Each structure stands twice: as structure tokens, then as C-alpha cells.
């Protein structure tokens, strides 16, 4: 019986597993964020890599109100350049956590335009 090749161990292996899991989770959530942003909403677009993502506001004046609505819904995020809401989702986020983030943004997306 042939034995399996040894599995890599140590920091390099852990880094590879971390990056792969981050990419997999990001690939799962980004299309959902893009769908929210493409519909009639306060958002203009969504982009990201891994678990670091941003949605762009259609109107700059909406930033504070949209941030507040997201926070009140349970989603903490930052902003950049006065027009991007930045999501830096925890690596430990479950699929249901990721879905909840999209649900909160989807609810806020219909907030007003």
C-alpha cells in the first residue's frame, strides 16, 4: 500500500491554508455584494479580495447615514475616501455570518436613493 506524501507543516503551510480559506470565503460573498450594489440602491459597486471588501456609495452625502444604518443593523465597517464602505470580515466568520453581513447591506441598500 502506497503512503501519502507528507503534509506540509509550519508557518508556511498555515499561511497557505489561511490564504486559501480567505479566498474561498471572499469568492462566496463578493458576488452577493455585487448583486446588492447593482440593484437600485445607495451603492454603486462592490469589489474586494479575500475577506477585505468595499462597496462604493452612489452619493457621497449618504456616507454617515449608511454607516449608521449598517451599525444599527449589527455590521461594523469603516470608510475610505468618503465614498467607500470597507468590510474587513473576520477570518473566523461562518457562512451564516457572511450571509448576515450581506443581508444587512441589502436592507440598507434599499434605505433611499
Q: What are phi and psi for residue 46, nearest 5 degrees?
A: -140, 145
- Per-residue confidence (pLDDT) for residue 111, from 0 to 100: 58
Beta partners for residue 75, in sequence order: none
For residues 18 and 76, give the distance between their C-alpha atoms in angstroms, rounded to a whole number: 23
- Give residue-wise pLDDT tens across range 64-105: 999 999 999 999 999 999 899 999 988 889 999 999 999 999
C-alpha grid cell for residue 60? 457621497
Mind listing the domains of the chain with CATH numbers?
11-109 (3.90.1150.10)
Cell of 102: 450581506
Crossing angle for the helix pair 95-109 and 63-73, to the nearest 10 degrees: 140
Q: CA 88 to CA 26: how far, in whole Å? A: 11
Single pTM value for the model = 0.79
Amino acid at each position: 500500500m502506497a503512503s501519502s506524501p507528507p503534509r506540509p507543516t509550519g508557518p508556511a503551510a498555515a499561511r497557505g491554508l489561511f490564504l486559501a480559506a480567505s479566498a474561498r470565503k471572499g469568492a462566496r460573498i463578493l458576488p452577493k455584494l455585487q448583486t446588492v450594489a447593482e440593484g437600485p440602491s445607495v451603492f454603486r459597486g462592490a469589489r474586494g479580495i479575500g475577506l477585505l471588501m468595499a462597496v462604493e456609495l452612489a452619493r457621497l452625502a449618504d456616507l454617515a447615514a449608511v454607516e449608521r444604518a449598517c451599525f444599527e443593523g449589527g455590521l461594523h465597517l469603516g470608510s475610505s475616501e468618503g465614498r467607500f464602505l470597507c468590510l474587513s470580515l473576520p477570518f473566523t466568520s461562518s457562512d451564516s455570518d457572511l450571509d448576515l453581513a450581506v443581508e444587512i447591506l441589502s436592507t440598507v441598500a434599499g434605505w433611499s436613493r
